[in-house]
Chains A and B, each alone.
Chain A
Amino acid sequence: MEWSIFQQYGPMLLRGFQITVFCWLFGTIFGMILGLLIALAQRYGVKPVRWLLQAYIEIIRGTPFLVQLFVLYYGGPLIGLRLDALPAGLLGLTIYGSPYFAEIFRSAFRAVPHGQIEAARAIGMAEVSIIRRILLPLGLVSALPALVNFSIILTKETVILSIITVPELMYQVQRMSTETFRYLEANLVLALFFWALVELISRVGRRLEIRITKHLIERT
């Protein structure tokens, strides 16, 4: 083991990690928003819309992320979509995550007892209010564990962005490896960074879960 090379490559790796975290945050947040919109449109939309979205879900879930990235990055220019590596990567992550998030929200919405929706309808609440005040808060609670779980999976999908030259952690690690032949050290550091990130996310997730279910659990 030869650790002194990190004096030289450390700042570069840190910068790469920052980009990794940024890509992950971006993909998670916007993937979740897109997924939520898809789930809502599937619940309330007319049939053609639902079919179209179902097709979208099947296609994205049925193909490897790498292929989607290639299509977006190399195929995009053919239809006039010319993106730099980073924006292409961010867009790719968002699209890739959205169907999984959509499915999580879909099943979470189904878990909201129908009676609670009916109670709102019975007093004359408008559907928009019902979504905002009943369906979303209760759906989010039951979705949270699965949301945290998938966003952890997404952290590790960010390494694929290195293939289209997004300068995230994997990219920097590979560069360092080929320049120094210190493959083991470089990849160990990568593993360490990811482990720390995943650990952090799961801890925050658990805290959040305890907090938002505080009032929902029966204590007699």
Chain B
Amino acid sequence: MVQASSVEIRKVNKFYGPFQALKDIDLSVPPGKVTCLIGPSGSGKSTLLRCINFLEEYDSGEVRIDDQLIGYEVPGGRKMPARKLREMRRSIGMVFQQFNLWPHMTAQENVAEGLIRVRGLPRAEAADRAVEALRKVGLGDKMANHPARLSGGQQQRVAIARAIAMEPQLMLFDEPTSALDPELVGEVLNVMKTLAGEGMTMVVVTHEMGFAAHVADQVAFMEAGELVAVDAPARILHQPEDPRIQGFLRTYHERNAF
């Protein structure tokens, strides 16, 4: 079992100029549980996810990791020092839609980089741990490959290995399978399921309703910057009360039916 963080989001607002991307968002992510964020494109799911590690700077409200406010010294106050923010980010792993591996490094170097630069491990130990993390995602044999020599699914698994090698207490996934060919989605989802089974706190922005239905402990539905509902997956996906969720799921089913 990993040590797992909780996330508390309170009254979070985010503006891009006059456009309000997030409207008074409240969300609790319990430790060791999987929370899926679903909703139409542009609804603010990714923005909300990126507020959790402050890659996106929310304008008001609070985001707390294990009770500790991220991004600001006090709610509505000055931004926290870069050093403090880096320290908090060390225990928050993130996986991106576009993988974002560093193309000039091998798979192993990609994973070891953070261990060396951030955790300060000696090279040899970082290399060993990198191999270990790559084995865990089933890529022990690809450690010497550069990203250009890996499939999309393999690249995304390296990206997951890069995150888990840092021994995070919270993992954020930003549409981790959206850039993948359909036949490569499964291998990534399987790795994520394993992680969830180990008790990692996970927040996952996804369009994979199957994953949300089977792996998530709670599903949050967002639309137009608002968090419409948070509930057990079955309640959101099978008996949605809100017409906005019904509409979204109808479109989803129509697109996936043949």
Chain A residues proximal to chain B, CB less than 8 Å:
113, 115-116, 118-127, 129, 133-134, 137-138, 141, 215-219
Specify which of B55, B103, B113, B162 is in contact with A215 (CB 8 Å cutoff): B103
Q: Which DSSP category, helix, strand, loop or mixed, fits chain B's interface?
A: mixed
Chain B residues proximal to chain A, CB less than 8 Å:
53, 55, 82, 86-90, 92-94, 96, 98, 100-104, 113-114, 117-118, 146, 148-149, 159, 162-163, 166
| B94 adjacent to A119 (CB under 8 Å) | yes
Query: Residues of A contacting B113 with CB < 8 Å?
Result: 120, 125, 133
7 pairs of A and B residues whose beta carbons are closest in the complex: A119-B100, A115-B100, A215-B146, A124-B90, A122-B94, A123-B114, A124-B89
| A134 adjacent to B114 (CB under 8 Å) | no
What are 24 inter-chain pairs, A to B, with CB distance below 8 A? Answer: A113-B100, A115-B100, A118-B55, A119-B96, A119-B102, A120-B102, A122-B53, A123-B89, A123-B93, A123-B94, A123-B114, A123-B118, A124-B86, A125-B114, A125-B118, A126-B117, A129-B118, A215-B146, A215-B148, A215-B149, A218-B148, A218-B149, A219-B148, A219-B149
Query: Residues of B contacting A219 with CB < 8 Å?
Result: 148-149
If A119-B96, A133-B113, A215-B146 touch, whether A124 touches B87 (CB-CB below 8 Å) is yes
* CA distance in complex: A123, B82 (Å): 13
* CA distance in complex: A141, B113 (Å): 19
- Measured CB to CB, the closest approach of chain B to A218, in angstroms, equals 5
| B82 adjacent to A127 (CB under 8 Å) | yes
Query: Residues of B contacting A216 with CB < 8 Å?
Result: 103-104, 146, 148
Specify which of B90, B101, B104 is in contact with A123 (CB 8 Å cutoff): B90
Query: Residues of B contacting A116 with CB < 8 Å?
Result: 100-103
- Measured CB to CB, the closest approach of chain B to A158, in angstroms, equals 33
Query: Residues of B contacting A134 with CB < 8 Å?
Result: 102
